[in-house]
Structure 1
């Protein structure tokens, strides 16, 4: 007896003290859940989704306080971001999925995959999840100052959904927390413990808030990651910088998604 493919759905999903704007294209294809950059929206994935096409089931959502619709919360922590992945997949009835994360979302994807090896079909980490010690007290102060100075501009852009509705202090704290999570002694064991096919797509040049060659130095940490864990390789190093990658070099991301999904099928 044939089963009915899940229908497409777009709406608000209540989660804890908030609600998330979720889009699920439905269908019987392999589910892919997309995890956004720290202050980005699900719209950033449109080129990847279009390139992969309708044979996949695409699930996107805006994190707490991001985009135009997701509600505010009292908790913007990294652990809350991980819980939201579970909440979205549970609500959409998805047991196993390919997990794709860009920037902040790559860190969430790596941790979620490490904690759920039986649920991640494969993982694509897009210019994020680099185990490198870039956070210290001086950097924390620099981040706090940057978000405080940017606040007037970000307030003007908030009605468009292009900037988060978090306060400058909340944005800074989220970024600082990520810095401590990124340190080699914290993130390294997470990456070493991943047991599913995992591919990095790596940008070139700078990212928001970085200076000089800071970002390229951070990316060098991948050499040790791939040497220690045979499940993880670098699928592509693309010419776009961090912010432009999903727009200009999206075919590298879609190729990596197809690769990890194929490898997962071969293993099963």
Structure 2
């Protein structure tokens, strides 16, 4: 697992897991904007960015175990772990497999429900197409709904950056991740059993995992709070990084305050 870490001090360790089909490069604004507050760890999930895909069968559990090993290598016992979209699915898998490693959970533009049959079939179609024909299907079908209306109409540089990240995704990793996501279980029971606080973020213009999905996750967790990022779509951390960072910084400060009080 290829790793990017940014820190200007000790602070609360925060692990951020990227969206499909991007890489840890999507977290640049978070690494820069939050480094004075916390240790920011942004790994490339297997096959993406600088990481090795390996020979394991597609599974979010495999990715979650990778994250736990990253914590080990960083010498981190417990961290705030969060992810956006696919990264959120991996975070929920980590909640099931390694709950003792968590100080808090961040779920951004993601959902706890499993894929219905039609969505699973579509993931398999895209997996096969990208291996056969390269990034064409990603640019035609996957890219457009990743950003919100405001970004598509007014933020050409942001859209271009996202397009570049999508275009550079390795085909085998894309196929592996699609199959891993298609096989994921419903995670609402996982959220109901969560023992740590959770922050759920959603872009106001997110059409892939809209506000209703975010509200359902907040209702499921015992200690949850919701932040809606205005004028952002599915990639809220990339489209409106300042607002995203403010929400995340507030959550981190809350957790740090609880830790000082022994709560």
Q: Distance in 2 between matches of 1:190 and 1:124?
A: 14
Distance 1:29 1:225, change over 3 A: closer
The 5 A counterparts of 1:1-268 are: 20-26=1-7, 27-67=9-49, 69-75=50-56, 76-128=58-110, 130-132=111-113, 134-136=115-117, 138-151=118-131, 152-154=133-135, 162-166=168-172, 169-178=175-184, 181=185, 186-205=186-205, 215-216=209-210, 219-243=211-235, 245-264=236-255, 265-266=257-258, 268=262
The superposition leaves residues 16-67 of structure 1 with CA deviations (integer Å, 9 ceiling, x where unpaired) of xxxx211223542221111112332111001122222334211121121111
Dislocated runs of 4+, deviation >6 Å: 155-161
Q: Distance in 2 between matches of 1:161 and 1:22?
A: 21
TM-score of the aligned structures, taking structure 2 as reference length: 0.75
Distance 1:48 1:166, change over 3 A: same
The superposition leaves residues 200-226 of structure 1 with CA deviations (integer Å, 9 ceiling, x where unpaired) of 11024456xx6xxxx43xx42443433
Q: Distance in 2 between matches of 1:248 and 1:46?
A: 12
Name stretches of at least 5 consecutive residues in structure 1 with no aligned partner: 1-19
Q: Distance in 2 between matches of 1:160 and 1:220?
A: 26
Name stretches of at least 5 consecutive residues in structure 2 with no aligned partner: 140-162
Q: Distance in 1 between matches of 2:196 and 2:12?
A: 16
- Aligned residue in 2 for 1:10: none
Q: Is the 8 A contact 1:99 1:109 kept in 2?
A: yes
Q: Distance in 2 between matches of 1:255 and 1:113?
A: 24
Q: Distance in 2 between matches of 1:23 and 1:172?
A: 24
Q: Is the 8 A contact 2:18 2:86 kept in 1?
A: yes
TM-score of the aligned structures, taking structure 1 as reference length: 0.74
Q: Distance in 2 between matches of 1:227 and 1:168?
A: 32
Greater CA radius of gyration, 1 or 2? 1
Distance 1:117 1:44, change over 3 A: same
The superposition leaves residues 117-176 of structure 1 with CA deviations (integer Å, 9 ceiling, x where unpaired) of 443222211101x2335421x332222223333442428999998212416653441231
Q: Distance in 2 between matches of 1:263 and 1:127?
A: 21
- Aligned residue in 1 for 2:153: none
Q: Distance in 1 between matches of 2:89 and 2:165?
A: 27
Instruction: Say which SS state the counterpart of residue 227 (structure 2) adopts.
Output: strand
Q: Distance in 1 between matches of 2:166 and 2:250?
A: 35
Distance 1:242 1:92, change over 3 A: same
Pick which of 166-175 and 117-126 moved more: 166-175
Instruction: Say which SS state the counterpart of residue 166 (structure 1) adopts.
Output: helix
